[in-house]
A and B are shown apart, each in its own frame.
Chain A
Amino acid sequence: MLQQGKSPLLFEIFYECKTTKARAGRMALVHHHVNTPVFMPVGTQGTLKGLLPQQLEQLDCQIILGNTYHLGTRPGINILEKAGGLHKFMNWKRALLTDSGGFQMVSLLELAKITEEGVKFKSPYNESDCMLTPEHSIQIQNIIGADIMMQLDDVVKTTTTGPRVEEAMHRTIRWLDRCLKAHQRLNEQSIFPIVQGGLDSKLRSECANQLIKREVNGYAVGGLSGGESKNDFWKMVHLTTNILPKNKPRYLMGVGFATDLIICSALGIDMFDCVFPTRTARFGCALVRTGQLNLRQIQYRKDMRPIDESCECSTCKIHTRAYLHHIVTVETVACHLLSVHNIAFQMKLMKDIRQSIQEQRFPEFIQQYMLDLFPNKEYPSWIVDALETVNVTLL
């Protein structure tokens, strides 16, 4: 494939961990640079849970996600095209990433059916037959205009086994080629292929090996964090990052719990996304190093401490757990305050990871983090095993 002009994604690795597979670097995208490893908050419908773009910038978010299926439904592609893309529509000046719409469609619409041509579904509005093809997905994502787009992939449930997994893997590769061909804005947007193959090492390897033959700017690891065992999960990540080229960013889709972020960074992942930090905020939960505080609980009624003494976010600077307890699930402001804190928490964790990689003390960082989390050293075996493979032994 011939690319003219400047690449819409330049990835530079500044530091490599000498012990693990972790790396700290920077992606230069058309709208903004992104320091990696990065956590990307999810703004499904062109907004991130009540936060202003200015607040997201203050939180140091460099890239956020939009969901193609939702955006294509409302406001719809015509409006987004007239607006000149999602950046302008929502007035977000930094980087954006969109998914293909396929996953949302399969998980949200009962009647979605996958054929070789694409995902067949009934319109939720007028019951008419519709088809999301790889070409159509890219056409929509070209209009949305995110810095990074996802290929349409053949999604199967993570726990599916048998020939369907293999079929999906091969189809994903065929669909990637159709996506790449349909891509119209080569100088502004990058397509990431998605490594599929379920929990089968052979299929995953084959898929990854096929995908790396295509000329792309980065790769995604898909089909994980869907209810599989943690043991299967980390092994698939480890195996995939071993095959993917070192000089391209790797994005692990749908993963965002603190422990997973640390371990998968150690396994060589550069990008993460998850709805969890903002979704849990809506239910009154605040993230802390040891898990989360459910501020609805009566125990916080007279707790005059901030959520986290060491947190620098505006919520922790101003408000106590006691006050938050009184307004959670009553005032929308409580949801905004917890979203601010939870995003700040994720951003701080990623910053700590990057910094410790840069200072060649990532293994020590992991050891301390896990010890804080499991003070009696009853580490789950998958954590021990995963870390052993990248030469980190817990304290």
Chain B
Amino acid sequence: MKFTTNSIKSCAARIGLLTEFERIPNSTFETPLVLVYTKGGCVPHLTKDVFKMLTSSPQMLSVSLSSTYLMQETMKDCNINFANFVGMKEYINFLTIHDPASTTPSGFREPGIIPLWTRCGKYAITVDKYMDIIETFKPDMYVALCDGDTNIDSSRKRISKSVESSMTFFEQCFIKHSSSEALKSSEILGAIEGGYDKDARTVSINYLKTKPLIGYVIDGLHNNGSHVKDIPSKQIKDIIEHTINLLPTEKLKVSMGCWNPLTVLELIELGVDIFDTTYPYVITENLEALTFLCDRDNCNNMGHIISFTEGRYADDFSPICSHCECLTCKNHTKAYLHHLCNVKELLGKVLLMIHNVHQYLEFFKIIRENIKRDTLDDYKKKINLKFKQNNVIQAEEEFTCTKDTKLTSL
């Protein structure tokens, strides 16, 4: 596998190219890239035939060990790799440890192990165990075992411990990786830890940047889950900038998790190359549809999101967005979506997932176009406006509410 980028400046939006995958040689991906989030080997709510209706282009999938760990015994005994076992062999996969869509419980630390949370409880993962699993999965890309249990509130002690143990984990994983026959076609990435502590980040980076790696996962900023979308960009900007400045420019930088689109744009401007679709998945689980992408003047969506828990869509026979080319918008109305969500029918989330993932794949396409045209800054302003409008509408509604109450009380 190869990563190339024309960028010479660190901390700048850039276009890159991922090529020469061993398993699927003719696959190429342009960065900034969004990996399609999967859980238990599938894109949530979408069977493979529906996923193919959603996108016919090659995609890279993000796979979390926590949602697939229970499959590893079968895979090992039947001598079948992950891509084949879940029936997704035509997609490149990238294996991470924790599920970016659900909060990873903090704590439960013991020396030499990482707690892995599955639906059947906690498993203690050692380096040996981890590399054994990796040899079974044979992912196209994966992250070395690491301790990323840090966030904005972490103590100095916790942060330095996470950096320290992650370095040890990496050292051991890398030795095993380098000598593994089974992992000849897999790429290992190192995880940069250090929470929000610049000194600790520096230690982590100085250790990893000497290793012959294709790239890095910038880890340890949050404990996953849906609340990541509420982390303000300004909270992470400084530490990401520090991190990327110290990392080799030509290497791939990955940041997983439920970042909101505004934060994604900030991170791209700082030089992050790879993200995942946790955000549209979380939005779908909330019975919401993304509307931030459309910038047509005649678009009827003012804000960045609409929620189908709201009764006002019950008799709205227009699509989520009349300019959206997705299967959902081409075929179904908001009224139907509202009904499906209201009666808790499975098709509601299927249709929302189709629209939301479609929007996110389009979002990244537009981002790449804007980087190429050097217009990302203008684009960012436009998207920011869509997010602001939601707040304005909310404020207005609150205002009318208070006015109404006053009128009735008079």
Contacts and interface: CB of A to CB of B under 8 A. Distances in A.
Interface of A: 45-55, 58, 70, 74-75, 78-79, 82-83, 89-91, 301-302, 304, 314-315, 318-320, 322-323, 326-327, 330-333, 335-337, 340
17 contacts: A46-B345, A50-B347, A52-B351, A54-B53, A54-B327, A75-B339, A83-B333, A89-B335, A314-B49, A323-B41, A326-B70, A326-B74, A327-B40, A327-B42, A333-B40, A336-B50, A336-B350
Contacts of B71: 323, 326
A129 to B, nearest CB: 25
Contact of A331 (B44, B48, B85, B333): B44
Contacts, number: 119
Interface string B336-349: 10111011011101
B57 interface: no
Contacts of A91: 331-332, 336
Instruction: Tell me the dominant secondary structure on chain A's binding face.
Output: helix
Contacts of B86: 323
B47 A337 contact: yes
A316 to B, nearest CB: 11
B339 A304 contact: no
Given A45-B343, A314-B48, A302 B74 contact: yes
Nearest to A314: B49
Given A52-B350, A332-B45, A333-B47, A74 B315 contact: no
A322 to B, nearest CB: 5
A179 B70 CA distance: 57
Contacts of A49: 346-347
Contact of A55 (B49, B331, B345, B351): B49
B374 to A, nearest CB: 40
A318 B347 contact: no
B77 interface: yes
A51 B348 CA distance: 10
Contacts of A90: 336
Interface in B107-124: 119
A256 B40 CA distance: 32
Contacts of B335: 75, 79, 82-83, 89
B257 to A, nearest CB: 21
Contacts of A315: 47
A215 B332 CA distance: 38
Q: Please indicate which of the listed interface residues B335, B338, B342, B347 has the most CB atoms of chain A within 10 Å of its own CB.
A: B347
A335 B77 contact: no
A85 to B, nearest CB: 12
B105 interface: no
A320 B49 CA distance: 15
Contacts of B39: 331
A55 B42 contact: no
B347 A75 contact: no
Say which size band chain B's interface belongs to.
Answer: 35 or more
A89 B40 CA distance: 33
B236 interface: no
A323 B87 contact: yes
B207 interface: no
B349 A89 contact: no
B342 A75 contact: yes
Interface in B37-86: 39-50, 53, 70-71, 74, 77-78, 80, 85-86
B41 to A, nearest CB: 7
Nearest to B348: A47
B337 to A, nearest CB: 11
Contacts of A332: 44-45, 346, 349-350
Given A90-B336, A326-B71, A47 B40 contact: no
B259 to A, nearest CB: 24
Contact of B42 (A45, A54, A82, A331): A331
A332 B285 CA distance: 12
Nearest to B314: A79
Contacts of B29: none
A323 B85 contact: yes
A83 B333 CA distance: 10
Contact of A47 (B48, B70, B77, B347): B347
Interface string B14-42: 00000000000000000000000001111
B66 to A, nearest CB: 13
Contacts of A318: 48, 87
B408 to A, nearest CB: 23
Q: Which 7 A-B pairs have the closest CB atoms?
A: A50-B346, A318-B87, A47-B347, A75-B339, A333-B42, A314-B49, A331-B40
A58 B50 CA distance: 12
Given A50-B45, A79-B315, 20 more contacts: A46-B340, A49-B346, A50-B345, A50-B350, A74-B343, A75-B314, A78-B315, A83-B333, A83-B335, A89-B333, A89-B339, A314-B47, A326-B40, A330-B119, A331-B39, A332-B350, A333-B40, A333-B42, A336-B45, A336-B50
Given A302-B78, A330-B119, A79 B42 contact: no
A318 B50 CA distance: 13
A74 B347 CA distance: 15
Contacts of A47: 340, 345-347
A333 B343 CA distance: 19
Contacts of A75: 314, 335, 338-339, 342
A45 B345 contact: yes
A104 to B, nearest CB: 14
Given A314-B49, A322-B78, A336-B346, A89 B336 contact: yes
A196 B309 CA distance: 42
A46 B53 contact: no
B403 to A, nearest CB: 29
B40 to A, nearest CB: 5
Contacts of A330: 40, 119
Contacts of B349: 332
A301 B74 contact: yes
Contacts of B48: 314, 318
Interface in B313-328: 314-315, 317, 327
Nearest to A325: B74
